[in-house]
Amino acid sequence: MKRAIIIVLDSAGIGALPDAAEYGDVDANTLVNIKRTVPEMDLKNLNALGLSCIDGCGSLSDVPVINPTGSFGRLASQSKGKDTTVGHWEIAGLCLDSPLPVYPNGFHPEIISEFENRIGRGTLGNYPASGTEIIKTLGGEHVRTGRPIVYTSADSVFQIAMHEDVIPLAEQYEISRIARELLVFPDNVSRVITRPFVGAEGAYIRTKNRRDFSLEPMGLTMLDYIKQAGLDVVAIGKIEDIFAGRGITKSIHTLNNNDGVDKTIDCLKTVEGGLIFVNLVDFDMLYGHRNDPAGYAGALAEFDGMLPGILETLRSDDVLFITADHGCDPTVPGTDHTRESVPLLTYGDKIKAGINLGTRAAFADIGASVLDWLGVESEVHGTSFMDLISIDCGSSPQ
């Protein structure tokens, strides 16, 4: 049976989109700017697939790649916004005509008042902030008062930071569920995020007990169609959270990028057919948002070193797609996502090597291509490029 594997290098953008000025991101180019800042970064395996052959990305390899083993290109975005949810939904064939709401001045008083009434507690914060910084500033008051810390960012998120010794995790998650129920159109933020932390004042640290409560997709996605066709849809990392659990037959959460790769390889050995959809979030969460190009470069190099293990585990009827969902350039001012095109690498025994797909019009072309490969009919956005790269396209998934 045929399989498609999508690996999202979260935030690994490759250059400002034409409308980037509207987002303040005209200088953004996450991968190229990291290489410029950390010239010793060597992504030999990604470059061998074709990463440095993508138009405008030649500087990513110190030695020109003449015969890439995969096909390659870049993807523009048809959706509005630069959020994780928007990017993944578009990859899955669902484009948004208008951005999800953001709150640069904090949430409306009516929202906060109703939230406080429903949870039976007052709140602190209610302004855009770095998660690590706001717990430094307000963590002590939170511990003394028991009031959750509410904050947001340039993304469409309602984040709630709470100390695990002050508010137990089960109650933290219930508080977040209440916020998710409250935040409906026109305040339908993409994600409510529980941000637990521990420790003493001056040494607070966030734990791995984060949980995302996502907006359900506003239309059918690639995942829905594949599941309806009776095939597996395995979600690795935060994919389940991004799609609110919809269209998924099995979900596997991960500890970090390396754990995500290990679990991907495990699934490649056992999943018989359908889609394996992977998000590797450390690039964005640990390095992009924290303006750490050296750390980002190290994480890219670490993934690059693990890539051969993925390629060696592929079957003859597999197609691998490597891409991203937006940018988060750690070299430009600010700590938010950046409005960028994303890379597209494809590889498999039945995929032609060395085909330059140029700039595709939408992230959604991946979703359309996956469905084409698996032989699943759909009405998703996007245009399949499988006819350009596949030796064997569109046949029955059986």
pLDDT > 90 in the chain, percent: 92
Residue 289 has pLDDT above 80, yes or no: yes
E strand intervals along the chain: 3-9, 71-75, 124-128, 149-152, 157-163, 191-198, 205-206, 211-214, 232-236, 250-252, 274-280, 318-323, 342-347, 356-360
Beta-sheet strand order (sheet of 3-9): 250-252, 232-236, 274-280, 3-9, 318-323, 342-347, 71-75, 356-360
Which CATH topology does 109-213 take? Answer: Alpha-Beta Plaits (3.30.70)
Residue 6: phi and psi, rounded to 5, are -115, 125
Answer whether 0.85 is exceeded by the pTM.
yes
Q: Which two tokens stand for residue 152?
A: 């947001």
Give pLDDT tens digits for 316-327.
999 999 999 999
pLDDT band at 392 (very low <50, low <70, confident <90, very high): low
Please state, in angstroms and rounded to a whole number, the distance separating the CA atoms of residues 207 and 210. Answer: 7
> At residue 173, what is the residue type?
Y
Residue 118 has pLDDT above 60, yes or no: yes
Do residues 173 and 167 make contact, with C-beta atoms less than 8 angstroms apart?
no
Averaged pLDDT for residues 310-335: 97
pLDDT band at 238 (very low <50, low <70, confident <90, very high): very high
Residue 149 has pLDDT above 70, yes or no: yes
Residue 12 has pLDDT above 70, yes or no: yes
> Domains of the chain: which residue ranges?
3-96+215-389, 109-213
Do residues 326 and 91 make contact, with C-beta atoms less than 8 angstroms apart?
no
Question: For 3-96+215-389, CATH number?
Answer: 3.40.720.10
Please state, in angstroms and rounded to a whole number, the distance separating the CA atoms of residues 380 and 367. Answer: 8
Supply the pLDDT for residue 395. 42
E strand intervals along 55-210: 71-75, 124-128, 149-152, 157-163, 191-198, 205-206
